[in-house]
Structure 1
Amino acid sequence: MQGDYLFYLQIGWLMAGIFFIIFNLSYWYDRTWLRNGIWFSLFFYTFWADVGLTIIASGNNAIIFPVGFLFLFLLFCIAAIFSLQAILLLWNAAIVWRRESHSLANSLTLYLGILIVIMPFVVSLINQHLPTFWAALLITFPGLCVLYAIFWFYNYLTVLVLYQAYWPRHNKDFIIVLGAGLMNGDQVTPLLAQRIDKGIQFYQKQRQKNGKTPTIILSGGQGGDETVPEGEAMRRYAVSHGVAESDAVAESASRNTLENMAFSKKIIDASGVNKPKTIFVTNNYHTFRAAMFAKAAHLKASGIGSRTARFFLPNAIMREYIAIVMRQRKLHLIMVVLMFIFALFWAILTAHSDWVAGWLRAFQNFLNNL
């Protein structure tokens, strides 16, 4: 028995090693793949399961009991967060409601919190008042869609966190700062100022570290309610905060993140720098999706993120997730159709469980008579 346990433990460590290698190869090849989150999660949970099983196999109670207590405490914390998620979402929604505009984009935590609160009551009403077929269909199909959305949201959160673990070398030729809208027509917003400040910080640190002066590209076009292009307002801000005028270039034609990357690449290509080294700067929640756009624009650049107010993050992260899902909407639509077909099949089986039981008995009798 002990030998079998050790054999399976060795298999577990081997699997963790394989997942670790696959994750590193995949992440090294392309940091913008959502599948990286799957490989990392497989490695992460396999690794810690192996650690726990190895501790148990050691038979050392001085280690087993403290680690077991810590494990149970972590499980309790996770369970508490999940059980209180509706309250936490509504609490965040109340803070955002006081500090931000009451737009749909800023109300996602409000709607999600309300949905979580009313869902048990809706499910109960469906079970009580609808025929078995419709109850099974209306519960199974949305349930599958929710599980599917949670699966990809978890992977997105994983790769978003992993993407923050990037500490670029101070050898860059270009720093692209992405625009984020102006206030009062020509003034940099606090959120946009954070991005520019992050770019200036990297610019100054690189100059101090090795004397190499990068060019900062301030990228942003002009919105309908803006009197000047974002790029120009950003450039003024950067120059007023210590960047030499000759080192700051405004890109003022872009209307979205893809154009930020594409038009900035044109400026870089026109500079004549051989094999330019580039980074881009945006808010931390936006780095991963911005990297996707950099890849789409054939711009070889990774991103660093400026800090974002914590109360702002839940809505911002959900907006980013929805935008990423929409980039692959055909794939997700196919999956939704397949889930509907499965739910329909399951509803038919549930509504006619007596038929299914009869078929199973007949099949069992057939096997017995062979």
Structure 2
Amino acid sequence: MVAFALAALFFLTFCISARKDRRRFRNAVLFGLTFITSSFALLLQLPALPQWLAVPVLVLVFAVPTLGILALGVFLVANGLTMVRKEGARPPNLLSMAAGLGIFGMIALLLLVGRYGSTVAHGIAATLTLVVAYVSFVFMCFLGYAYLYGRIKVRGDVDHVVMLGSGLVGGDRVPPLLASRLRKGQEIYEAQLARGSRPPVLLVSGGKGSDERVSEARAMADWLIAEGGVPAEHVRLEDRSRTTEENMLFSRELMLTDDPGYRCVVVTNNFHAFRAAMMARKAGVNGQVLGSPTARYFWPSATIREFVAVFWEHRAVNLWICGLLVALGSVATIIA
């Protein structure tokens, strides 16, 4: 069991870090490191395992990820086609297709270099593989922990339910994506009322874009009052923000004014919840972030877009590591 000591250490560190603050990205990395070291520990135990157990472990560690990569590539390309058909061929809608084609492109490159490549080509392919492996590892960390974070439940009462805005349709109408957030916020509001507690303030957050006739907050408030039947006095507007960061900062100002010891929950769509939670932590917002349902076909591209944003927000570390991997690959190629 000594082989599992490192995995146990990573898992313990993950538990401590997550308990201290669930909104840290390092929780995702620690979660991923726990999984990777556990897999290596399983491999080290193979000689001591009976054959009937060793074979499933090999399949679990090698065959499942290999087949999973191929299946993921097919799924992402198919999802990309669905996105284009339903949402149009705008660049953000092509992310899942680009990722799927990238998977097959990488596989084809490795096969070609392995069969026909020179020493330099092998070195370049190996270096590229290291960089892709690192980015893939960070992505899987993000994806796995985002899933765990999305399982958070609201415990106890809150003073405010903050609902983040998004673009309006026709300049003044709430689109389905935003309506999903409003319904989720209303569910939290109604659940607190059902417990006999004081009704939380529904704080709708979003300013007015250049192509919008009213602020997102105004449209959201009107939807809650007209469609949800929420009393107008329980709805408050934050109508200055233009970005998610400003959503958090300006909403925090209003909540602090109401009660310096406030407790809140922030609502956005599920693909955006973990990144929004990191922003909430950075802005000093006292509350967790919950995600509302999103159309299944929309989720992959939106999740990839969120990951790219998170990767870039931590670009100093990520680019330094990628640069180090390139340097190591270059040195190994020269020596070879």
TM-score normalised according to structure 2 size: 0.88
Whole-Å separation in 2 of the counterparts to 1:39 and 1:119: 27
- Provide the identity percentage: 31
> 2-side partners of 1:346 and 1:256: how far apart?
44
Decide which of 320, 327, 339 is 2:325's aligned counterpart: 339
| Whole-angstrom distance in 2 between the partners of 1:122 and 1:20 | 36
Q: Does 1:95 align with 2:82?
A: yes
Q: CA deviation at 1:224?
A: 1.6
Instruction: Find 1:235's aligned residue among 221, 236, 243.
Output: 221
Match of 2:207 among 196, 221, 224: 221
Deviation digits for residues 291-311 of structure 1, max 9, x if unmatched?
111112111111111011111
2:267 to 281, 287, 290: 281
Shift of residue 341 of structure 1? 1.4
Match of 1:206 in 2: 192
Give the corresponding residue for 2:241.
Answer: 254
Distance 1:204 1:316 in 2: 29
Partner of 1:244: 231
Per the alignment, do residues 339 and 263 of structure 1 end up closer, same or farther by CA in structure 2, a change over 3 Å counting? same
RMSD of Structure 2 on Structure 1 (CA)? 3.0
User: In the comparison of the two structures, how many residue pairs are matched?
Assistant: 334
Is residue 108 of structure 1 aligned with residue 81 of structure 2? Answer: no
State how far apart, in whole Å, the 2-side matches of 1:84 and 1:191 are. Answer: 28
* C-alpha separation in 2, matches of 1:312 and 1:156: 18
2:129 counterpart residue number: 143
Is structure 2 residue 25 aligned with structure 1 residue 38?
no
**2:131 counterpart letter in structure 1:** C
Which stretch shifts more, 112-121 or 207-216?
112-121
Q: Which runs of structure 2 are paired with 1:2-41 in the superposition (5 Å)?
A: 9=1, 11-12=2-3, 17-41=8-32
Q: Give distance in 2, aligned partners of 1:116 and 1:40.
A: 24
Match of 1:326 in 2: 312
TM-score in terms of structure 1 length: 0.81
1:160, distance to aligned residue in structure 2 (A)? 0.5
Structure 1: any 5+ residue segments left out of the alignment? Answer: 1-8, 351-370
Q: Residue type of the partner of 1:242? A: G
Is contact 1:34–1:155 with CA below 8 Å preserved after alignment?
Answer: no
- 1:265-276 equivalences in 2 (<5 Å): 265-271=252-258, 273-276=259-262
> How far 1:77 sits from its partner (Å)?
4.9
Q: Which deviates the most, 316-325 or 161-170?
A: 161-170
> Are the counterparts in 1 of residues 267 and 290 from structure 2 also a CA contact under 8 Å?
yes
- Specify which structure has the bigger relative contact order, considering alpha-carbon pairs within 8 angstroms and separated by 6 or more residues: 2
- Indicate conservation of the 8 Å contact 1:257/1:290, yes or no: yes
Instruction: State the AA in 1 paired with 2:134.
Output: Y
The aligned runs of 1:288-367 (5 Å cut-off) are: 288-350=274-336
Deviates more, 1:108-117 or 1:303-312: 108-117
Equivalence for 1:354: none
Distance 1:146 1:45 in 2: 16
- State the AA in 2 paired with 1:254: S
The runs of 5 or more residues in structure 2 that have no matched partner are: none
SS, match of residue 138 in structure 1: helix
Which residue number corresponds to residue 178 of structure 1? 164
On the 8 A contact 2:269/2:293 being kept in 1, the answer is yes
- Whole-Å Cα distance in 2 between the matches of residues 87 and 209 of structure 1? 47
Residue type of the alignment partner of 1:208:
A
SS in 1 for 2:195: helix
State the alpha-carbon separation in 2 of the partners of residues 81 and 124 from structure 1. Answer: 18
Structure with larger Rg: 1
